[in-house]
Amino acid sequence: MRNFTRLAHKTQKLLSEYHHWLPFFNDCLLCHYSTSSQQLICQTCLQDLDNFPLGYDLLFDNPKASADISHENIDGITLVATYQRPFSTALPQLKFHQSIQHAKWLGQLLSEQLEHLAWRNIDCICPVPLHRERLASRGFNQAELLCRFLSVTQPIKHLLIRRKSTQAQTRLTRRDRLNNLKNAFYCPHDLTGKSIVLIDDVITTGTTVNEAAKELKRQGATAVFVAAVAIRLKT
């Protein structure tokens, strides 16, 4: 497992860019408790960040977790962290409130994780799509928002169409999860010989990204990796 060094310092430096257009920002970006006008993150959250273990490849570093995650069609999964504070407070702000501040911070952390993995010969990066009905109701795709703030040289491409509206995976059995997402994705592109990274915000069961990877490989992709901000591990 790799640790991000001086994460709190990096976060403060990154978020300091917002001071010129958030002059009256009085709440902590992560926990939303009041903080001074000169701080975008409170001291408690900064301390949490300094002590947080970040960055690992799920399939190699955590065999127990990978046994609970669907990954038959995936060649590697990389994550910034597990789904706990402060990420359990930051990710809902991204997912349900289209928070640009959180998207930029989380996107930069995900970029650094991709650099640490040193994946070679990646042809493009693809956000996991939402179904058009959910996209219309929410107004944005959080995976696309993350991609907007990735510091990568590979192109961002929308290779997949989500043609099936599905219910939340969390409370379904493994069989129901598979049935829920069967044929949910469609790729209209020839991907012969391509290596692709799928981007998502949170992995819970892995079924969504696994099915997306399956469709990419059906269209000829040689390798499909997954990069996400966090994973919900079973306790």
pLDDT, tens digit, 9 for 90 and up, residues 177-218 = 667 778 899 999 999 999 999 999 999 889 999 999 999 999
Q: So what's the pLDDT on residue 198?
A: 96
pTM: 0.81
181 CA to centre of own chain: 19
Q: Show me where the domains of the chain are located.
A: 1-53, 54-231
Q: At what angle do helices 174-181 and 207-218 cross, to 10 degrees?
A: 40
The answer to whether residues 49 and 198 touch, using CB atoms and an 8 Å cutoff, is no
pLDDT, tens digit, 9 for 90 and up, residues 111-125 = 888 876 556 688 999
Q: How far apart are the first and last CA of the chain?
A: 19
Name, in order, each residue with C-beta under 8 angstroms of 201's C-beta and a sequence gap of 6 or more.
Answer: 91, 94, 95, 106, 142, 143, 146, 228, 229, 230
Cα distances (Å, whole numbers) of residue 214 to 27, 66, 184, 218: 42, 17, 11, 6
* CATH code for residues 54-231: 3.40.50
pLDDT band, residue 71 (cuts 50/70/90): confident
Q: Is the pLDDT at 21 greater than 90, yes or no? A: no
